[in-house]
A and B are shown apart, each in its own frame.
Chain A
Amino acid sequence: MEWLIAITIGTLTTAGVYLTLRARTFPVVVGLTLLAYAVNVFLFAMGRLTIGQPGVIDAEALGYADPLPQALVLTAIVIAFAITAFLIVLALKSSGELGNDHVDGLTVDSDEEVTRLKGTNS
């Protein structure tokens, strides 16, 4: 199970970092979401992986699953969720005001420049 979790976190982080480095806002938002998923799984696993243990101490059971990381993850999920929602609205606002969805907010001139350069190349 440790291998599976480790590979999952690694894959999510790699994909997240790759997408965050893209030039347009939509992949960046998706990338940040994937990074948030990765960190949530990571935080969760930091309480060590256990199976069939009670969440908080139980007189009958021999051990317990660490409840603290679960509480941390809940907080982190809520915060990441709220900020992602905010970021999506901001990305829409920026594409409305700047006329394109580039993170660096290319002006109309530079957009035309790009098309012109592409035209001469092909």
Chain B
Amino acid sequence: MMSLTAVPLLIPLVMSFILLLARMQGIQLQRVLNLIVVTLLIIVSSVLVNNSLTGEYQIYLLGNWQAPFGIVLVLDQLSAMMLLITSILALGALWYAIKTKIDENGSHFHVLFQLQLFGLNGAFMAGDLFNLFVFFEVLLLASYGLILHGSGAQRTKASLHYVIINLIGSTLFLFAVGALYGILGTLNIADLANKIAILPAENQAVVAAAGLLLLVVFGIKAAMFPLYLWLPAAYANTSAPVAALFAIMTKVGIYSIIRVHGTLFNEDAGELAFYYLPWILALGLITLVLASLGVMAARGLREQVAYLVLASVATLLIGIGLNSPAALSATFYYLIHSTLIAGAMFLLADIIAKGRGALEDKFISAPSMPSAILVGSIFIFAAIAMTGMPPFSGFLGKLLILSAALDHAWFGVVFAVILISSLLLIIAMARSGSLLFYNTQTVTTETTQTGKPLNKSALMSVVGLLSAAVILVVFANPITDYTQQIAQQQFNSSNYIQAVLSATAITE
């Protein structure tokens, strides 16, 4: 039987090579092929999400070697959901890149784009720590190329920081992997969890240290305080479709924390059970405070959106830190929402920057931009969704997280921080919206350099991604049912362990 499980990995890997060859036939062919492939990925991931609804773990043993001896790809409901979000976001970013011709600014945009998807999909399906590291490196290398796509001194400077901090992160990842292997003698996540459950007390300190080292690594990816300083500059200075695609990159860190820490240090882990949670909750709260201050202080719209991404990541960290099935379910709901809306916001910020001409996205009063009413309406819509005001999905996501926090010992702090930071976000977005769209100057002849007219077909991808805010509310009931299932599956990590270790090799 042909298994679909490995397909989300194979398609982007093979296509990246084909796209490299297709370059000889011109960029038009690359564009068409890339669009077809991303659409195909959406279809495949939808099928996989549908297959995962039964709660079955879809496991693929590479080279037919049984876990924990061979490399194993695990696709459960969480992985399937992440694959689907990634491919939808990729379609939006790709459409925008093609319609604005941003992909022509450098050589290998489409190839790197597919390699990036390969790394992302691999990270979401890796069943052992070392392959998680390898896929991290694949997606990072592709992202180094993409973040530099186009040019500009500011972009180079921000990219240099991004590359160096991620290189340090990779080194720390290897130290953690080495320490875990040295003590436990395995790297398969399921097998590690079993070994940690029977760990002698004298080795617990080393494993605990390695676990926190992994938290630092994932914290760099997720941009958790105090490791977030690279994010605003890197995201604000890169090209818009790349920034939109990178909305999923911070979620890779979130996913890894849920997957690795949630499985390794589950309730069977004795002394080490959930020992990392106070760190995540406290750091998430601090990140949220600093992110909302950053949103208030931003001097340009793209920088502001980058801080909004940071705020959404912080909210997700709080959701993980609350550690209950209800909180985790709310986290997943908010994750879908924040990824797609943040992607749309980056694209919209670019449209606004192009429309304003020389002033770009700086918060300085300027003459009214072309099609200001249409763009302004979409901006209001996006801002409402992003800051978490009713009636859109951001509000529902935050509400779910807050209601899950009611039973937690820290609920006062969590409520205060989330609500006050939401207020700050709303004030900041209202201010920037009114500055960009209302507080415009009358056109004087010599000072103005009028921006480009609105690119309607590029706006399509913003509208498409933003429609998620409506869809998530209209279909809130089935979607929250699904996220609750995911959360249940994630909490019963013993099922995951059993499914991975009992997967049998295919015999002909």
Contact = CB atoms under 8 A, between A and B. Distances in A.
A80 B134 CA distance: 11
A98 B151 CA distance: 12
Contacts of B137: 79, 83
A25 B415 CA distance: 43
Contacts of A93: 156
A35 B130 CA distance: 18
A10 to B, nearest CB: 13
Contact of A32 (B140, B141, B159, B164): B164
B171 interface: yes
Nearest to B159: A90
A39 B170 CA distance: 10
A69 interface: yes
Contact of A72 (B130, B144, B170, B171): B130
Contacts of B178: 39, 42-43, 46, 69, 72
B175 interface: yes
B349 to A, nearest CB: 23
A76 B134 CA distance: 9
Contacts of A14: none
B27 interface: no
B24 interface: no
A32 B168 CA distance: 7
A79 B131 CA distance: 13
Interface in B157-216: 157, 159-161, 163-164, 167-168, 170-171, 174-175, 177-179, 181-182
Contact of B174 (A25, A39, A82): A39
A35 B157 contact: no
B153 interface: yes
Contacts of A75: 130, 134
Interface in B22-65: none
Contacts of B153: 97-98, 105
- Per DSSP, chain B at the interface is helix
B177 A94 contact: no
A46 B182 contact: yes
A104 B170 contact: no
A83 B156 contact: no
A90 B177 contact: no
Contact of B157 (A42, A46, A83, A105): A105
Contacts of B171: 32, 35-36, 39
A87 interface: yes
Interface residues on A, range: 20 to 34
Given A25-B160, A46-B182, A83 B167 contact: yes
Given A32-B171, A35-B168, A39-B174, A103 B161 contact: yes
A93 B134 CA distance: 26
Contacts of A91: 160
B134 A94 contact: no
B141 A103 contact: no
B148 interface: yes
A3 interface: no
A101 B439 CA distance: 41
B158 to A, nearest CB: 9
Interface in B130-152: 130, 134, 137, 140-141, 144, 148, 151
Nearest to B131: A75
Contact of A83 (B151, B159, B170, B174): B170
Nearest to B173: A39
B177 A98 contact: no
Interface string A109-122: 00000000000000
Contacts of A98: 153, 156-157
A68 B188 CA distance: 13
A54 B253 CA distance: 39
Contacts of B164: 20, 28, 32, 87, 103
A94 B157 contact: yes
A104 B160 CA distance: 9
A46 B130 CA distance: 14
A103 B130 CA distance: 30
A43 B182 CA distance: 8
Interface in A57-114: 68-69, 72, 75-76, 79-80, 82-83, 86-87, 90-91, 93-94, 97-98, 103-105
Contacts of A83: 137, 140-141, 144, 163, 167, 170
Contact of A97 (B156, B161, B174): B156
Given A43-B177, A46-B182, A90-B160, 14 more contacts: A35-B171, A36-B171, A42-B174, A42-B178, A43-B178, A46-B178, A47-B181, A72-B177, A79-B137, A83-B167, A91-B160, A94-B156, A98-B156, A103-B164
19 contacts: A20-B168, A35-B171, A39-B171, A43-B174, A45-B182, A46-B178, A47-B181, A72-B177, A72-B178, A75-B130, A75-B134, A79-B137, A83-B167, A86-B141, A87-B164, A97-B153, A98-B153, A103-B161, A105-B153
